[in-house]
């Protein structure tokens, strides 16, 4: 038998049925263990929490029987819960645009290749690497009415003592939280937007410049549409983080004075870990999951339409 | 017959000798001897984070290990998380903690949940009942038991004292001007009206160098001051028959308005003061009066000022100038306190029990309350009477006498089922007060929150617990 004949024979010898099955399924089998672990770690707690939300587990009761929608009905009667969602919405609605604006302006400043740019970028990004609880505690000291530098600087410019109780006066608690939050997370926006702006098509910019378009026109017609997908993702990530905000608020005000800065995360923590309303806390968690899912879906759909 | 008589006499002699030996051994020695069989094990104890845990970290833990061979692992937890951590450990069944520090007002919840080990059998086994009688009645009779069983040993004589600047109060010029204005002698205030008058007077005369008074105002402690003032003014937390909250009565409003008005003669920014801010202000001589727990008195006297652990405490500028008195209206809040308990899920219950018996014993506790850095305050009759303690600084005798009297007249913290929820509601109400919200609106909301908590716990359940608590001599002023 010639070599070619034997090769032809080999070509014509098809793999067995088992071999074909194995070949088709091999990629899935390889990733299966990792997927199973992810499901176990991610999905199991979710399903377990869902089950707990239909039970009645509190500090003193361990009733694991099905109680129907009792906890979910309680959600709608809980004014403190809805107040905390409102507080969270306020913080998100104010902080997110500010973070975007500051991040965008900073990115515009650094878009050109200036000497020392990398060093400055590294310094600007430092707030983001600090733990949020540390950031909150530090700003609490900065806002201190007797020893904090903020008060002293304001007093210097005002020419008289300025005594603002940032963490007690209702008029100033939200600005205090938002200042700390924006200070810490604008660099995150800055990084993403810097990368996005760096990839804007230079030829379009040059063409617009040649055509005599103003900066605002260029911004509206060329830059923003180019970076829109990155902006959408950045804003989505930050808004999800803002909805879950905890550390900064806890360090600054612990949800006070009273409950006026109590966010949904703080309230959930208090219900779950101070008051051991375990089943009710599970129900709150699913409410938050539902709200965030709606927001995320709407944003992603909007992105799809834009494309 | 002769043999029987001889045998009986011998047996009697042996038994008498043995019981005599046992009587000679105090509770500390008994605990040490019994614990030696657990040498090589490690027990963990939950302790309030910060200064409180310096005691087990630097003194009692190493000492216990030296005596018994048992290692002590101190689990430091911030006060406002201690209840959470203890319950989490219990509910998960992890058994990570052996011994616990428990705030007495939590005892009903923890005991009912089954998180605390009843200690009676250990107390009897290791002969600790006698020494328990030396604990001051205010703590022994109110902070040790729930439902007739011992669940913890009171280990901290927390009680609010009024500290005042003797030098200012005894200044001839100040005395003369005050008497001329108000018609009574400048002295530690007997009621809150006098407190306000004295405070404002001193501020008018001496601010900004010295203000009339300062208090801690931030969570979680001001609610204890509210509890005291509300009751000493005649208020009751609940209607005992209906369990409807009555904190929003005229008395509640009077107290809230009084607390708010005081801020005007206190240093600017007092609304943000915590325990340390208030301490620093008093030690630096910025405030002429304050109310707080006993450690202020020791540190104001300069006791322990050379200690490394107390480096963070501002050096006292008022040593030798501080007087001690009962709080206005003479019924101070006991305020917090700590019990030593054993976790029901501990895997080393007896070893844990022996450690807390040793800690709490007459001998060991006397050493512990004299540690310069301790936050554990005298709580035994033998502590108050200790000649050694009385000689620690010139005014230590007056200090101990005031603590003893304050304890005797002390008001118990409100202690109901799910007390932490009532505490949280009071804390939030007070912070709303500093924020400028209408006092009546805050109190009405507080009453509603109290009612909602009571309803959730079960009105009849809570009524039964409240009835027991309210019947205690220290619950309401007689």
DSSP string, A187-249: HHHHHHHHHHHHTS-HHHHHHHHHTT--HHHHIIIIIHHHHHHHHHHHHHHHHHHHHT--HHH
On the question of pLDDT at B17 being above 90, the answer is no
Which residues, 6+ apart, have CB-to-CB distance to B276 below 8 Å?
none
CA distance B205 to B178: 10
On the question of pLDDT at A99 being above 90, the answer is yes
Which residues, 6+ apart, have CB-to-CB distance to B255 below 8 Å?
B226, B229, B230, B233, B235
Supply the pLDDT for residue A60.
Answer: 67
B435 and A60 within 8 Å at the Cβ level: the answer is: no
Supply the pLDDT for residue B425.
Answer: 95
Supply the pLDDT for residue A215.
Answer: 86
On the question of pLDDT at A13 being above 80, the answer is no
CA distance B276 to B294: 14
Which residues of chain A are in CATH 1.10.3720.10 domains? 70-306
A256 and B219 within 8 Å at the Cβ level: the answer is: yes
CA distance B450 to chain A (A): 14
Q: Is B4 or B176 the better-scoring residue by pLDDT?
A: B176
Could you tell me the pLDDT band of residue A15, with boundaries at 50, 70 and 90? low
Burial A229-266 (b: 16+ CB within 10 A, else e): eebeebbeebbebbbebbbbbbbbbbbbbbbbbbbbbb
Mean of per-residue pLDDT scores for chain A: 89
Residue carrying the six token digits 């009667």: A77
Query: What's the pTM?
Result: 0.86
Query: Taking a contact as any Cβ pair under 8 Å apart, which residues of chain A between 29 and 88 contact chain B?
Result: 59-60
| A128-175 pLDDT tens trace | 999 999 999 999 999 998 889 999 999 999 999 899 999 999 999 999
Could you tell me the pLDDT band of residue A12, with boundaries at 50, 70 and 90? low
A272–chain B Cβ distance below 8 A for any pair: no
- Phi first, then psi: give them for residue A179, nearest 5 degrees: -60, -45
On the question of pLDDT at B66 being above 70, the answer is yes
On the question of pLDDT at B11 being above 50, the answer is no
On the question of pLDDT at B12 being above 80, the answer is no
| A44-88 pLDDT tens trace | 889 999 999 999 888 766 677 888 899 999 999 999 999 999 999
Q: How far is CA A223 from CA A206, A207, A232, B342, in A?
A: 12, 13, 14, 66
Which residues, 6+ apart, have CB-to-CB distance to B385 below 8 Å?
none
Host H or E run for residue B453 = helix B439-457
Nearest CB among A163, A254, A259 relative to B269 is that of A163
B435 and A260 within 8 Å at the Cβ level: the answer is: yes
A-B CB pairs within 8 A amount to: 70
DSSP string, B126-161: TT-HHHHTTB-HHHHHHHSEETTEE--EE------E
A144 and B435 within 8 Å at the Cβ level: the answer is: no
A172–chain B Cβ distance below 8 A for any pair: no
- What ranges in B238-380 are assigned the alpha helix state H? 250-262, 275-283, 295-300, 349-360, 362-369
Chain B residue numbers with beta carbons less than 8 Å from the beta carbon of A170 are 435-437
Chain B residue numbers with beta carbons less than 8 Å from the beta carbon of A165 are 269, 271-272, 434
Which residues, 6+ apart, have CB-to-CB distance to B453 below 8 Å?
B418, B421, B422, B425
Host H or E run for residue B74 = strand B71-77
Topology (CATH level 3) of domain A70-306: MetI-like fold (1.10.3720)
Could you tell me the pLDDT band of residue B16, with boundaries at 50, 70 and 90? very low
On the question of pLDDT at A116 being above 90, the answer is no
Task: Indicate which of A152, A274, A281 best probes the interface with B, i.e. most B CBs within 10 Å of its own CB.
Answer: A274
Could you tell me the pLDDT band of residue A306, with boundaries at 50, 70 and 90? low
CA distance B72 to chain A (A): 27
Supply the pLDDT for residue B132.
Answer: 97
Nearest CB among B80, B420, B428 relative to A256 is that of B428
On the question of pLDDT at A115 being above 50, the answer is yes
CA distance B431 to chain A (A): 5
- Percent of chain B residues past pLDDT 70, beyond the cut: 95
Supply the pLDDT for residue B7.
Answer: 47
A145 and B112 within 8 Å at the Cβ level: the answer is: no
What is the tally of helices (H) and strands (E) in chain B?
Answer: 24, 10
Supply the pLDDT for residue B306.
Answer: 83
CA distance A253 to chain B (A): 10
Chain B residue numbers with beta carbons less than 8 Å from the beta carbon of A146 are 267-269
Could you tell me the pLDDT band of residue B3, with boundaries at 50, 70 and 90? very low
Mean of per-residue pLDDT scores for chain B: 92
DSSP string, A41-69: IIIHHHHHHHHHTTSEE-SS-EE-S--TT
B74 neighbors B63 (Cβ within 8 angstroms): no
CA distance B395 to chain A (A): 32
CA distance A149 to chain B (A): 15
Mean pLDDT of the B148-154 span = 97
Q: Is A303 or B300 the better-scoring residue by pLDDT?
A: B300
Supply the pLDDT for residue B260.
Answer: 96
DSSP state of B215: -
Nearest CB among B87, B272, B431 relative to A276 is that of B87
Chain B residue numbers with beta carbons less than 8 Å from the beta carbon of A258 are 428-429, 431-432, 435, 437, 442
| B358-377 pLDDT tens trace | 999 999 999 999 998 899 99
A273–chain B Cβ distance below 8 A for any pair: yes
B318 neighbors B395 (Cβ within 8 angstroms): no
Residue B421's closest chain A neighbor by CA? A275
Nearest CB among A60, A170, A273 relative to B435 is that of A170
B421 and A275 within 8 Å at the Cβ level: the answer is: yes
Chain A residue numbers with beta carbons less than 8 Å from the beta carbon of B436 are 169-170
Supply the pLDDT for residue B439.
Answer: 97
Residue A169's closest chain B neighbor by CA? B435
B424 and A165 within 8 Å at the Cβ level: the answer is: no
Supply the pLDDT for residue B93.
Answer: 86
| B397-431 pLDDT tens trace | 999 999 999 999 999 999 999 998 999 999 999 99
Supply the pLDDT for residue A146.
Answer: 84
| B387-401 pLDDT tens trace | 999 999 999 999 999
A59 and B434 within 8 Å at the Cβ level: the answer is: no
Supply the pLDDT for residue B261.
Answer: 96
Chain B residue numbers with beta carbons less than 8 Å from the beta carbon of A169 are 435-436
| A204-223 pLDDT tens trace | 888 888 888 888 888 888 89
CA distance B170 to B372: 29
How many other CB atoms sit within 10 Å of the CB of residue B314? Answer: 15
CATH superfamily of B12-154+339-375: Periplasmic binding protein-like II (3.40.190.10)
Chain B residue numbers with beta carbons less than 8 Å from the beta carbon of A55 are none
- Name the 3-class secondary structure at B163: strand
């Amino acid at each position: 038998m010639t070599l070619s004949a034997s090769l032809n024979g080999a070509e014509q010898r098809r793999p067995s049925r088992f071999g074909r099955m194995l070949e088709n399924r091999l990629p899935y089998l390889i990733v299966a263990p990792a997927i199973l672990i992810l499901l176990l770690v991610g999905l199991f707690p979710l399903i377990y929490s869902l089950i707990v939300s239909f039970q009645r587990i509190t500090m003193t009761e361990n009733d694991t029987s099905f109680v129907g929608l009792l906890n979910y009905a309680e959600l709608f009667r809980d004014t403190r819960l809805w107040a905390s969602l409102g507080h969270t919405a306020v913080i998100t609605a104010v902080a997110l645009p500010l973070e975007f604006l500051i991040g965008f302006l900073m990115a515009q400043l650094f878009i050109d290749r200036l000497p020392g740019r990398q060093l400055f970028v590294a310094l600007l990004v430092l707030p983001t690497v600090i733990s949020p609880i540390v950031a909150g505690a530090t700003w609490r000291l900065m806002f201190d009415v007797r020893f904090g530098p903020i008060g002293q600087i304001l007093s210097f410019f005002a020419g008289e003592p300025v005594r603002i109780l940032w963490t007690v006066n209702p008029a100033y608690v939200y600005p205090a939280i938002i200042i700390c939050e924006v200070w810490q997370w604008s660099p995150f926006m800055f990084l993403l937007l810097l990368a996005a702006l760096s990839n804007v098509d230079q030829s379009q910019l040059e063409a617009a410049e040649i055509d005599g378009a103003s900066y605002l026109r260029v911004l509206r017609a060329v830059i923003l549409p180019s970076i829109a997908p990155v902006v959408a993702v950045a804003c989505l990530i930050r808004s999800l983080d803002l909805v879950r905000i905890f550390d900064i608020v806890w360090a600054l005000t612990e949800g006070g004075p009273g409950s006026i800065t109590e966010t949904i995360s703080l309230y959930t923590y208090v219900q779950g870990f101070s008051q051991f309303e375990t089943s009710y806390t599970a129900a709150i968690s699913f409410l938050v999951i539902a709200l965030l899912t709606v927001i995320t879906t709407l944003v992603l759909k909007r992105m799809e339409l834009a494309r | 017959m002769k043999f029987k008589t001889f045998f009986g006499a011998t047996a009697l002699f042996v038994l008498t000798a043995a019981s005599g030996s046992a009587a000679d051994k105090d509770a500390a020695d008994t605990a040490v001897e019994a614990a030696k069989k657990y040498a090589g094990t490690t027990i963990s104890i939950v302790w309030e984070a910060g200064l409180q845990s310096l005691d087990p970290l630097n003194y009692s833990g190493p000492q216990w290990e030296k005596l018994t061979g048992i290692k002590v692992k101190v689990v430091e937890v911030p006060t406002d998380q201690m209840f959470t951590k203890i319950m989490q450990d219990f509910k998960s069944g992890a058994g990570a903690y052996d011994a616990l520090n428990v705030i007495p007002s939590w005892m009903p919840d923890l005991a009912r949940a089954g998180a605390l080990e009843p200690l009676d059998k250990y107390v009897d086994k290791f002969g600790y009942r006698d020494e328990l009688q030396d604990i001051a009645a205010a703590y022994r009779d109110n902070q040790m038991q729930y439902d007739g069983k011992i669940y913890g040993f009171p280990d901290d004589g927390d009680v609010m004292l009024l500290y005042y600047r003797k030098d200012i109060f005894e200044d001839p010029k100040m005395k003369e001007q005050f008497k001329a204005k108000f018609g009574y002698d400048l002295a530690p205030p007997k009621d809150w009206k006098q407190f306000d008058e004295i405070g404002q007077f001193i501020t008018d005369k001496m601010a900004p160098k010295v203000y009339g008074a300062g208090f801690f105002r931030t969570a979680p402690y001001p609610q204890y001051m509210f509890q005291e003032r509300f009751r000493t003014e005649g208020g009751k937390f609940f209607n005992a028959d209906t369990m409807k909250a009555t904190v929003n009565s005229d008395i509640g409003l009077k107290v809230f308005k009084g607390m708010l008005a005081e801020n005007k003669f206190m240093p600017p920014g007092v609304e943000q003061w915590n325990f340390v801010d208030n301490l620093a202000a008093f030690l630096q001589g910025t405030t002429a009066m304050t109310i707080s727990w006993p450690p202020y008195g020791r540190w104001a006297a300069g006791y322990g000022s050379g200690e490394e652990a107390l480096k963070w405490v501002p050096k006292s500028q008022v040593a030798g100038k501080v007087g001690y008195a009962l709080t206005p209206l003479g019924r101070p809040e006991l305020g917090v306190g700590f019990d030593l308990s054993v976790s029901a899920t501990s895997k080393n219950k007896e070893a844990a029990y022996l450690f807390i018996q040793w800690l709490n014993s007459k001998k060991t506790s006397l050493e512990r309350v004299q540690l310069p850095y301790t936050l554990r305050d005298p709580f035994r009759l033998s502590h108050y009477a200790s000649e050694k303690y009385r000689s620690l600084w010139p005014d230590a005798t007056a200090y101990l006498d005031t603590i003893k009297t304050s304890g005797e007249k002390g008001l118990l913290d409100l202690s109901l089922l799910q007390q932490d929820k009532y505490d949280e509601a009071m804390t939030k109400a007070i912070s709303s007060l500093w924020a400028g919200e209408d006092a009546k609106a805050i109190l009405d909301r507080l009453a509603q929150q109290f009612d909602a908590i009571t309803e959730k716990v079960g009105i009849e359940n809570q009524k039964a617990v409240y009835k027991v608590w309210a019947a205690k001599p220290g619950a309401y002023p007689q």
